[in-house]
Structure 1
Amino acid sequence: MPQVPLGVRRPALAVLLAAGLGLALAASAAAQTGSVSGFVRDAETGETLLQATVRVVEAGRGAATNAEGFYSLGGLAPGEVTVVASYIGYVSERRALTLEPGGAGRLDFDLAPEGVTSGEVVVEADETLENERPPGVQTVSIDLVEALPTVFEADLFRSIQLLPGVKAANDFSSALYIRGGSPDQTLVLLDGTTVYNPTHFFGFFSTFNTDAIKDVRLYKGAYPSQYGGRLGSVVDIYNRDGNRNERKGTLTLGLLASRAGIEGPIAGGRASYSLNVRRSTLEPLLGLLRSQLDEDGIPESFSFYDVNGKVGVDLSPNDRLSVAAYAGRDQVVVPFGDDARFDLDYGNRTGSVTYNRVLSGTAFASAQVSATRYFSYPVGTVAETTFRQPNTITEYAAQVDGEWLPSERVELRVGARAGRFGLDFESEFNENVGTSFSNPATFGSAYVQGRTRFGDGWTVTGGLRTDAFRNRADDRLDDAEPVAATFVRFAPHLQVERSFDDNVVIQAAAGRYHQFLSLVSNEAFSGFDTWLTTGPGVGPQASEQAVLGLKTRLGPAWRLDVEVYGRTLRELFDTRPELQDVSGLDYADLFRSGKGYAYGAEVLLERGLGRLTGLVGYTVGVTRRRYPAEPAFSDFFPPKYDRLHDVTLVANYDLGRSWRATLAGAYATGQAYTVPARRYIVSGLPFEDRDVNALDSPALNNTRLPPYHRVDVGFTKRGTVAFADYELQLQLVNVYNRRNLWFETYDFDENPVEVGQVRQLPILPNVSLSLDF
């Protein structure tokens, strides 16, 4: 392992020593004060509520529940205190408690859902901004996800695309392009386990069944030290634990897919389970489209499934064990014209076992072992050429995390993670294997994160993370011995907040981040996306980020968030597109190295109370990439997801009589694309027995498509029949039939070359019926 420079070790040691001294002083001061802690749950289901707010009235401060629904408030003056728990869409609860000097009180809250929950777009008016999300963090309401008009299916990622700072590639992609980053720069976690390809139907929608999801948190940038391994952002998703009080079932019939779920208590409510399945039902509609439309790209066959399961057991009031699993798979055949065909077979498997323990009134710990596997076996046929690119990732990991709140001013979080990682990749053309390598690795990480409050409204959060990654590139077509590579990186993080009153907060955050993986993606068709990793001569990617934000309340119903951000991108690695024959090349020779940057500003205006709720988001952003060693890419160019302007609108209106109307609209600058200047023919390529037509352009992405805009509307009716509660959704996507341009095609059989246009979605209706029983 390479030596760490002394200049790196000393600052890290100084941070840890300062944190330890501060915590020792805080612990001493806390000896004379009391604490209160517990869980906040849904009174109807027993599900823990994440990010619920618990406040001590006399102390004038509060805390939010963690990922397990646990809260802790230390440093409280002895005597009688009043504790209030609240959560968006739930009735607040107020309880009294008498604290002894140095004593620890326990209060668990069971909050009842309100009769009307349409205000879940924003937090309640009586919650102070000081206890809300850090800069760049957005909590996504599942009710909002399910209410939005969608193409056949409510989709989590498509709903996230409506938030400022998040861009969509096109109507056919649910991939997340966040603050100038590509989809692989976003860490996607499901119950703490990494999901490497979180999409179905080569990106058309995400793998996450909304019936199975309890909570979603989006970190758009400058995320805290407890997360790592990605340059840009984090999507943290938690599945439902299951109803602890009664057995319930759900059934949804839709045009794209149908869903079913069941959940209920075990062992008298000490344990619970949740099981949700989803299966595609689009096949009849695809057959109709193929018979009525003369367009390429309509699948010849298509099927997918998702299975989510979770079981949780309360071993004691302070101990809980949970087991979670997910499995999903896609099998798609897509013809393009008479001589092109793509057969796709890919999916994910994840599993985890998590143990949580309340150590004391001010300390909480968790431990988890997890496994995840991603597989992709695509086969393409163009003319008489067949190519395959099998790609698999297997990861086993164990991690521990601890939280300690010794006083009212100090919070500490520490954790460590380690495991094994395996990546296999192969490329084959007409049964000739061009590339075949295995890249096994071991990895480890550790972090310390502290938060302190001082002065008049000041809060400072600092963290330091260390990541180590050791792997070896084994070219299975070469007899040479595998060459190992070891990388160690340090990632500091700092966040400063200043609250001026209950209605104004200024926040700033900055951090450094590293990524040991890269996803090579085709900009037009993602069916052959391939994961690659660092190796000998190919170091990890790096990024520095900074965010400055202002959060304000404009009366009881409105809030306004404004953020500006900037980020650098360094050591980006990607495969060299000009390589045709890679035999005999070293691992580093397969890649090109690049850099880039992104900056922008976001405005989010939300209304969360009244019959009309919703949000308006605006983003102005710029992102650029550059590969200095390649003449064609030596200048900075905009990737396809660079959009200067992005505007989104979401509105929910209570029509009465259990009807609700929803509108979603979007406008964006047209995406960048390359206009060719000339055509030429290449002869004698490896594995090719004919000439190949090619196009040339003086610059990459040198022009833009027309602006993108679309409006969707939907109506929801809720009611009760004899045996179940129902929800009927009537939706219309792209109401004014705007056929936004997707990309251009070129017919080389014509002279001059004939340019065609592939359009995005037309106007589409959607009907779904959900039953809860």
Structure 2
Amino acid sequence: MTPVRLAFCIALALSAAPAFATDEAPPQKATNLGEVDVNARLDEARNSLSPDTGSSQYVMTRQTIQALPLGDSTPLNQVVLQAPGVVQDSYGQLHVRGDHANLQYRIDGVLIPESIGGFGQTLDTRMIDNIKLLTGALPAQYGDRTAAVVDITTRTPKDGVGGSVGITGGQFGTVNPNATLFGKKDDWSFFLTANYLKNDVGIENPTASRTAIHDHTNQVKAFGDVSYLINNDTRISFMFGATNNRFEIPNNPGQTAQFGYLDVTNFDSAQLDERQQEKTRFGVLSLQGKMGDTAYQVSAGERYSSLDFTPDDIGDLMFNGVASDVRRANRATTLQADFATPLGDSHTLRYGVYGEFERATSTNNALVFPADGDGNQTSTTPLNILDSSRILARTYALYLQDEWSIGDKWTVNYGVRADKYNAFKPESQLSPRLGVVYQPVDGTTIHAGYSRYFTPPASESISPTSIAKFVGTTNALPDNGNDTPLAERSSYYDVGISQKLGTQWTVGLDSYRRNVSRIQDEGQFGAAVVYSTFNYDQGKVKGDELTVNYDGGALTAYFNFSYNRSVGKRIITGQYNFAPDDLAYIQDHFIHLDHDQKYTSSGGISYAFPDSTRIGANYLFGSGLRRDGIVPNGDTMPAYFQLNLSVAHDFNLTSVGATHAQFALVNALDRTYQLRDGSGIGVGAPQFGPRRGVFLSLQQDF
């Protein structure tokens, strides 16, 4: 970053105001809690464990989510897409500030290990009271996955028992019934929600047609949180969730078979029958409260995740020369402890530990054809090859930080984090963190931060491949180097400003830069729709964000615009996945990462009438992800724009509660746009955005 650019960013750049007109809160100071409702008091103590000094935060409340066209039926990734700097990709993936995935999910302050990457969402939007996206230079408390922290606060039960039942239905065979039950009695409280979804657009259509071929999905999600108040200073809770998602892999008709199978020489690609199933289970037991002035939360958790890809044996053999029956599973056991101790009136000391033990297995039961040294098929009778691996990964972390309030205008958070990751070999790092917030006058907040990051590879995405087993087959892989990914190390700089204009407008600017060693990326290599991690030796990421928010009571609006550039050079792991010509070029040249999108924008507007009617609109814009050109990832996909509209009304039809009706028009202009065209590093197939869809939601509270 040049001195002129840095000076400009410090003078103008942001703590970008949270999306949807939620003001950036000043840093929490070391103050004593009042005698309020016990659960609210414990919630406040839990919130004091997590600082955000120096980072950028964007808050979306439950009201904000309900104002989206699909309301509570909006998938979690589509909610996060409304924040600045978030780029959509195929298969439901998100990229924040130029990173590939690398998102950390926390529920009520507890880190939930990520699931094996697939098509479906693990968490249900109906559980959310508010969601905060933390990006930039994060405090020492946050490690491991650092592109962004998706920090979810769950809905709080009210006295007595209540809930709601409802259904969302519409085009593309969409049926989505749901039920929620919550309550509080004496020292017990609980919140339970579950829903079932089926439709005929489970994955992005590989063609521009309105109706996808072989794209049905069935998805089940459930979440629960049960807590017991031991005394006024102590609460124990058990949080759990389960997901079971099944997908048909959509077909691209008109493809030409490349291989012969026995006496079969032709196969209709529209008749392929590939399928994928994804399962996730997690449970966390937490003890949370206060010991004197010290707030604490100690949590022990378990998460199991699996992915099964079932090929069309004959079809995959004829089109790809390999039919891979892929099974991946990962079980993670975690222990997390966080503490916050006020020291006088100006300091808050925060410290904690985290440990995770993972057992990851991967099996590829593949059918292939014999081939000569040039890869030419020598027999139409397939061979069966079993390739399996097992990984044990251990992650340990310690952190210590102090938040120092200097007068009424300055807050400094400084600390250090120690990480150690051991899977194939021990890797570790000591990472300093520094964040500063300055509030010169009311309505103006300036922040700056520096964070050193250590990012281990996602164990659930590591699949060591036995190259020797496939020699002399149509799935032969070049032995080009190291096939096990390495931990990423980076330095992150972030500066910005948030400015209130009157009582209704907030404008924010933010600028960031990241210098990376061994930058991680992911790609789909081979016929199975499964992602694998690899490393570039060097990476450079930079960008800027603008946010504008308006809160006029009945009328609210937001606008986000982001610029990003992400490049990498020299592939140093997973080289067997790449063509020799690509490897040779990337060896000496920086190339754009496949998920790099230069310009991204989102925005929306909502108006609430006095008669409980609300109308709204939101949009997504992207200048296009990368695709191959003259050089790898050297070109961009065409720009796209998607407009969504909605109208909602609350009826008082029964005495038990309100009846909510919401009508949504997704991609109202029916613009056909393509996210991917099948080219680019690690891109397996074309994917198109959604076509116009009409949906109706009905929800009955009780």
- TM-score grouping bracket, smaller chain normalisation: 0.7 to 0.9
Corresponding residue for residue 179 of structure 1: 97
* Closer, same or farther: CA 136–521 of 1 in aligned 2, 3 Å: farther
Q: Write the distance in 2 (CA, Å) between the matches of 1:135 and 1:442.
A: 28
* Partner Cα distance (1:758, 1:445) in 2: 39
One of 533, 539, 542 as aligned partner of 1:596: 539
Instruction: Say which SS state the counterpart of residue 701 (structure 1) adopts.
Output: coil
- For the pair 1:550 / 2:497, whether they are aligned, the reply is yes
> Are 1:726 and 2:679 an aligned pair?
no
- Letter of the aligned partner of 1:265 in structure 2? K
Q: 1:237 to 1:758 in 2, by over 3 A?
A: closer
Shift of the 564–303 alpha-carbon distance from structure 1 to 2, 3 Å rule, reads same
Q: Specify the SS of the correspondent of 1:36.
A: coil
TM-score, normalised via structure 1 length: 0.70
Per the alignment, residue 600 of structure 2 pairs with 646
1:650 and 1:664 in contact (8 A); partners too: yes
Q: Does the CA-based 8 Å contact 2:61-2:129 persist in structure 1? A: no
Cα distance in 2 for partners of 1:305, 1:556 equals 43
Instruction: Give the structure, 1 or 2, with the largest relative contact order (CA under 8 Å, sep 6 or more).
Output: 2
Q: Are 2:325 and 1:419 aligned?
A: no
Q: 1:175 and 1:512 mapped to 2: Cα distance?
A: 25
Task: Give CA-to-partner distance per residue, 1:451-500, whole Å, 9 cap, x none.
Answer: 1122562211011111122234xxxxxxxxxxxx2222111110012110
Q: Distance in 2 between matches of 1:702 and 1:416?
A: 43
Q: CA deviation at 1:563?
A: 0.6
Cα deviation, residue 174, structure 1: 3.3
Q: Distance in 1 between matches of 2:36 and 2:49?
A: 8
Return the letter of the residue paired with 1:343: R
Task: Report the CA distance shift for 1:272/1:726 in structure 2 as closer, same or farther (over 3 A).
Answer: same
Over residues 555-603 of structure 1, what are the superposed CA-to-partner deviations in whole Å (9 max), with x where a residue is unaligned? 01111111100112221356899999xxxxxxxxx96543311111111
- Runs of 5+ unmatched residues, structure 2: 1-29, 254-267, 368-382, 464-481, 528-532, 573-582, 680-684
How far, CA to CA, are the matches of 1:404 and 1:434 in structure 2? 54
Pair 328,575 (structure 1): closer, same or farther in 2 beyond 3 Å: closer
Counterpart AA for 1:314 = L
**8 A contact 1:40–1:69 mirrored in 2:** no
The RMSD of aligned alpha carbons is 3.3
- C-alpha spacing 1:136/1:198, structure 2 compared with 1 (3 Å): farther
Judge conservation of contact 2:281–2:305 (CA < 8 Å) in 1: yes
Identity of aligned residues (%): 18
Q: 1:143 aligns with which of 45, 51, 63?
A: 63
The answer to whether the 8 Å contact 1:426/1:433 transfers is no
Alignment match of 1:272 (pick from 189, 210, 216): 189
Q: Secondary structure at the match of 1:390?
A: strand
Alignment partner of 1:341 out of 254, 260, 273: 273
Is residue 168 from structure 1 mapped to residue 92 from structure 2 by the alignment?
A: no
- Rate the CA distance shift 1:596–1:178 in 2: closer, same or farther, 3 A: same
1:520 positional shift: 5.6
CA apart distance, 1:325: 0.5
Is 2:548 the counterpart of 1:605? yes
1:264-413 to 2 correspondence within 5 Å? 264-266=183-185, 269-282=186-199, 295-299=211-215, 301-336=216-251, 337=253, 338-339=268-269, 340-360=272-292, 362-381=293-312, 382-384=315-317, 385-413=322-350
CA deviations over 1:216-250 (Å, ceiling 9, x no partner): 2211221111121124221122333533x110021
| Matched residues, number | 585
Match of 1:246 in 2: 160
Where does residue 60 of structure 1 map in the other structure? none
The DSSP-based 3-state class of the residue aligned with 1:501 is: coil
Residues 1:592 and 1:277: Cα distance change in structure 2 (over 3 Å) = closer
- Alpha carbons of 1:39 and 1:768: their partners in 2 closer, same or farther (altered >3 Å)? farther
Of the three residues 194, 205, 219, the one matched with 2:134 is 219
Contact 1:40/1:70 (8 A) holds in 2: no
The aligned residue for residue 668 of structure 1 is: 622
Q: Distance in 1 between matches of 2:408 and 2:521?
A: 48
Partner of 1:615: 558
Q: What is the CA-CA distance between 1:296 and the residue it aligns to?
A: 4.4
1:262 maps to which of 181, 184, 187: 181
Query: Any idea what SS the aligned residue of 1:627 has?
Result: strand
> 2:484, 2:534 within 8 Å by CA — same for their partners in 1?
no
Shift of 1:335: 4.4
The aligned counterpart of 2:33 is 37
Cα drift, residue 272 of structure 1: 0.6
Distance 1:357 1:295, change over 3 A: closer
SS of alignment partner, residue 633 of structure 1? helix
Q: Is the 8 A contact 1:540 1:571 kept in 2?
A: yes
1 CA distance for matches of 2:537 and 2:132?
30
Q: Quote the Cα distance in structure 2 between the aligned partners of 1:702 and 1:466.
A: 38
| CA shift digits 1:413-456 (9 cap, x unpaired) | 01012232111122232173453211113332110011112256
Residue 444 in structure 1 maps to residue 362 in structure 2: no
Q: Is the 8 A contact 1:151 1:733 kept in 2?
A: no
What is the distance in 2 between the residues matched to 1:132 and 1:552? 18
Structure 1 residues not aligned, in runs of 5+? 1-33, 51-64, 73-130, 473-484, 523-534, 581-589, 676-697, 747-755
Distance 1:418 1:727 in 2: 44
Counterpart in the other structure of 2:410: 458
Runs of 4+ in 1 over 6 A off after TM superposition: 39-42, 46-50, 574-580
Q: Secondary structure at the match of 1:666?
A: strand
Distance 1:148 1:494, change over 3 A: same
- Structure 2 partner of 1:516: 456
Q: 1:717 to 1:738 in 2, by over 3 A?
A: same
Structure 2: how far apart are the matches of 1:150 and 1:181?
27
Q: Deviations along 1:591-619, whole A, 9 cap, x unmatched?
A: 65433111111111111233211211111
Q: Normalising by structure 2, report the TM-score.
A: 0.77
Bigger-Rg structure (1/2): 1
- 1:214: how far off? 2.6
